[in-house]
Amino acid sequence: MAYKRTSIAAMVMSATVLVGIAVHEGYRGEAYTPVPGDVPTIGFGTTSGVKPGQKTTPERALIALLKEAEEKKGAIQKCVKVPLYQHELDAYVSLSYNIGSAAFCGSTLVKKLNQEDYAGACDEIKRWDKFKGKPLAGLTKRRAEEHRLCTGGEG
């Protein structure tokens, strides 16, 4: 069976991306700062409006994850003008969840994607493994997995 790329508007996120984000982010029931100099985080990587000492439950954290992932998909839909495979969308939602919609939409990755350089866009994922200019092992591992997802298991 041959697959074809589809308009992002016609796609939904797969369970794969939600599980992947949850696994990469990990769960924390109380706000914490994952890396010195970073912003407070809670649940499965939620940062918006998080204050030190804030608490959540796994159920609320999952709801927040789904809501934020949907918001990232919406932002991707606005800045990516070409059709995608499901696995590409999933990889880009995961990346955007971690780096933010503005960084994603303003990236070289999106420029390449909109020029239909699908392989080049997937390769750009690997460049996002740094915090304040220094590579972080956890980000390098996550980017390698997102790249593998983006390329459909190749590379």
Q: For 100-109, write each residue's pLDDT tens digit.
A: 999 999 999 9
Model confidence, pTM: 0.92
At residue 32, the 3 state secondary structure works out as strand
Domain 12-150 belongs to what topology?
Lysozyme (1.10.530)
Paired residues of 6 in beta bridges: 84
Q: How many Å apart are CA 77 and CA 75, to the nearest integer?
A: 5
Q: For 12-38, write each residue's pLDDT tens digit.
A: 888 989 999 999 999 999 999 988 888
50 contacts: CB under 8 Å, gap ≥ 6 = 31, 39, 40, 41, 42
Q: Note the pLDDT of residue 110.
A: 98
Sign of CA dihedral 79, 83, 87, 88: negative
